[in-house]
């Protein structure tokens, strides 16, 4: 009897209408809109922003403790997807790029794009050309490419057939970006335009192309593997020079979905456990707002981002797309999250009047992205987590006396002595 992954590969290879996300197209009684998932999420952060490799290692340990939250088939090497999002490890990239003859400017003045590319040479060169075209078109500098070292022996044979060629592109800040925030917006615009152009190619030419992250602040290592295999596959993560003050991790359990490389999490800003039940309405409302939207910060670049949310994305990826637009448009990360996932405010007599007024005002701007969900999020400068208004997903955290915060969808994701714990509690509804 063929495994799920073997059946998925057969469907993907035989179906010319397979969507870019890895779902089959709508056909017969099947509709990809009905897909849901349930996963494990967590993060660790040094509140004082002290970067170290230890934080990366502890993040990977949190991820390993979430293994039971992920799905695996009869093949012990195959998994639904797992990953880690960290701050850009400047020392590591600076030394690695120097050995390749790439000279990086100061930290914050260059961005790193993690790029999944097709293994077929001609298709790969086409995709690389499109990435470079938009870097130049948006007034930024192409500094160079680095092939990312991986150990494919940790993947099963079925998953290895879907494995992309992974490279990192280094982009220097152009003169049209006055600060790092403007540069982040340009990297966002470059990435979106690249994806949109490649999605216009024939479906077989889209295979394996995806940009998990493109930022001057964060980088994402993820893939279709088990949680315990992430650091073994991505050998960068074993290097002591890879340092961060935060690590956001995710272990995927695609209950009714097809696993794929691009739908592994974290995404660019968040990871998510649960589902958005109002997704179709949320997508329609975002599309309806297109011609009413304006942004002083994005200006004419706003028109380059549409369609903002591609059909076939998961609910988590769609939420991430919308959050990314709000942050690029000038909302702070916490503000945007509260706008999208509001508390239950209308009939809550215990809520502070100013906070109720905040939610009442924003209810006129955007409808809630509602459903049983726990969301952890970061932009590389702040990190946080929230639950939906009903609090239907688990999320617990501890604060230690050496200024660490550990949050997870389980208790005990790290072995922390009781005497070091200053606070221990759970996220509550909203």
Catalytic sites, residue numbers: 39
**Burial class for 425, CB neighbours closer than 10 Å (0-12, 13-18, 19+):** exposed
Taking the alpha carbons of 264, 267, 272, 276 in that order, is the dihedral positive or negative?
negative
Question: What is residue 330's DSSP assignment?
Answer: T
Structure tokens at 227: 């949680």
Contact call for residues 248 and 43 (beta carbons, < 8 A)? yes
Residue 363 CB coordination number (10 Å) = 14
Q: How would DSSP label each residue in 250-295?
A: EE---SSS---TTTSS--SSEEEEE--TTHHHHHHHHHHTGGG---
Taking the alpha carbons of 398, 404, 409, 412 in that order, is the dihedral positive or negative?
negative
Most distant CA atoms of the chain, gap in Å = 63
Which residue matches tokens 């609090």?
Answer: 391
Structure tokens at 370: 């509602």
Structure tokens at 43: 């993060």
Q: Strands across the sheet with 210-215, in order?
A: 141-147, 165-172, 110-117, 210-215
Give the 3-state DSSP-derived string for 114-132, with helices as H, strands as E and coil as C. Answer: EEEECCCHHHHHHHHHHHH
Structure tokens at 388: 């939906």
Contact call for residues 390 and 427 (beta carbons, < 8 A)? no
Q: How far does CA 43 lie from the centroid of its chain? A: 13
Q: CA-CA distance, 252 to 94, in Å (whole number)? A: 32
- Nearest residue to 339 (alpha-carbon basis) of 382, 296, 373, 370: 370
Contact call for residues 376 and 384 (beta carbons, < 8 A)? yes
Helix (H, G, I), strand (E, B) or coil at 371: coil
- Nearest residue to 413 (alpha-carbon basis) of 43, 82, 65: 65
């Amino acid at each position: 009897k063929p495994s799920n992954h073997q059946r998925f590969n057969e469907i993907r290879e035989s179906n010319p209408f397979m969507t870019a996300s890895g779902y089959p197209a709508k056909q017969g009684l099947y509709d990809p809109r009905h897909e849901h998932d349930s996963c494990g999420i967590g993060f660790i952060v040094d509140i004082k922003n002290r970067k170290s490799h230890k934080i990366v290692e502890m993040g990977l340990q949190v991820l390993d403790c979430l293994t039971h939250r992920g799905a695996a088939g009869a093949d012990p090497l195959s998994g639904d997807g797992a990953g880690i999002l960290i701050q850009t490890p400047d020392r590591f990239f600076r030394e690695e790029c120097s050995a390749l003859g790439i000279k990086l400017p100061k930290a914050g003045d260059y961005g790193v794009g993690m790029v999944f590319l097709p293994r077929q040479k001609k298709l790969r060169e086409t995709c690389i050309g499109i990435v470079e075209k938009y870097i130049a078109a948006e007034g930024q500098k192409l500094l160079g490419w680095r092939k990312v070292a991986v150990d494919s022996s940790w993947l099963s044979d079925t998953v290895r057939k879907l494995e992309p060629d992974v490279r990192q592109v280094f982009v220097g800040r152009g003169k049209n970006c006055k600060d790092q925030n403007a540069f982040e917006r340009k990297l966002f615009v470059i990435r979106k335009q690249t994806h949109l152009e490649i999605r216009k190619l024939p479906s077989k030419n889209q295979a394996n192309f995806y940009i998990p992250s493109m930022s001057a602040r964060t980088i994402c290592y993820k893939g279709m593997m088990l949680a315990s295999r992430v650091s073994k596959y991505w050998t960068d993560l074993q290097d002591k020079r890879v340092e961060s003050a935060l690590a956001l991790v995710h272990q995927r359990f695609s209950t009714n979905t097809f696993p794929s490389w691009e739908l592994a999490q974290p995404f660019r800003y968040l990871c998510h456990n649960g589902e958005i039940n109002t997704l179709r309405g949320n997508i329609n409302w975002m599309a309806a707002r297109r011609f009413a939207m304006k942004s002083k910060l994005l200006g004419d670049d706003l028109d380059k981002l549409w369609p903002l949310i591609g059909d076939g994305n998961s609910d988590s990826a769609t939420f991430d797309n919308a959050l990314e637009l709000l942050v690029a448009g000038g909302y702070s990360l916490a503000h945007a999250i509260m706008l999208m996932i509001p508390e239950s405010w209308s009939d809550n007599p215990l809520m502070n009047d100013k906070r109720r007024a905040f939610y009442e005002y924003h209810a006129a701007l955007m409808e809630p992205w509602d459903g049983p969900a726990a969301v952890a999020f970061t932009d590389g400068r702040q990190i946080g987590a929230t639950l939906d208004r009903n609090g239907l997903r688990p999320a617990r955290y501890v604060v230690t006396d050496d200024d660490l915060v550990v949050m997870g969808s389980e208790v005990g994701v790290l072995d922390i002595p009781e005497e070091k714990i200053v606070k221990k509690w759970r996220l509550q509804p909203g």
